[in-house]
């Protein structure tokens, strides 16, 4: 009474092989286009930004003035493979991971910020 009877439908005739292939490609086209747009809008710029950051980190030298992700400003005093020592105030040094450095500042920027 509440459930009506279901009648099986006959399967549609199989279309020609060429038409089936074309409909498959047409169905996949929006997905491919979305991936291409996603690559150029999000993935490629992010990879470029990471490459630039890695080059900046590798180019650090003793005496560079830098800003960290946490907002500390300091002068590089020691360089290691994974860590950097920063002098944030006369006589005060902190040790940070290299990846925490987000910007190399122009020479003299710290003294003018005080």
Number of domains in the chain: 2
Q: Does residue 54 belong to any structural domain of this protein? A: yes
Query: What CATH number should be reported for the domain holding residue 90?
Result: 2.30.30
> How far is the C-alpha of 90 from the C-alpha of 110, rounded, in Å?
12
Below-70 pLDDT ranges, the chain: 1-19, 112-114
Per-residue pLDDT tens over the stretch 10-33: 556 555 555 677 888 888 999 999
Structural domain boundaries, residue 32: 17-59
Distance CA 66, CA 97 (A): 13
DSSP code per residue over 37-70: HHIIIIIHHHHHHHHHHHHHHHT--TT-EEEETT
Residue 88 lies in a domain: yes
Q: Is residue 8 in some structural domain?
A: no
Strands 73-79 and 65-68: antiparallel
Give me the pLDDT at residue 98, please. 93
For the question of whether the overall pTM of this predicted structure is more than 0.85, the answer is no
What are the two backbone dihedrals, phi and then psi, of residue 6, each rounded to the nearest 5 degrees? -105, 135
């Amino acid at each position: 009474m509440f459930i009506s009877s279901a009648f099986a439908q006959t399967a549609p005739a199989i279309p020609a092989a060429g038409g089936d292939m074309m409909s498959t490609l047409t169905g996949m086209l929006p997905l491919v286009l979305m991936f291409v747009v996603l690559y150029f809008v999000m993935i490629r710029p992010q990879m470029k930004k990471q490459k630039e950051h890695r080059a900046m980190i590798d180019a650090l030298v003793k005496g560079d003035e830098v800003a960290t992700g946490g907002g500390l400003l300091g002068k590089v005093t020691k360089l290691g493979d994974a860590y950097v020592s920063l002098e944030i105030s006369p006589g005060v040094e902190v040790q940070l991971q290299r990846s925490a450095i987000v910007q190399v500042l122009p020479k003299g920027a710290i003294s003018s910020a005080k």
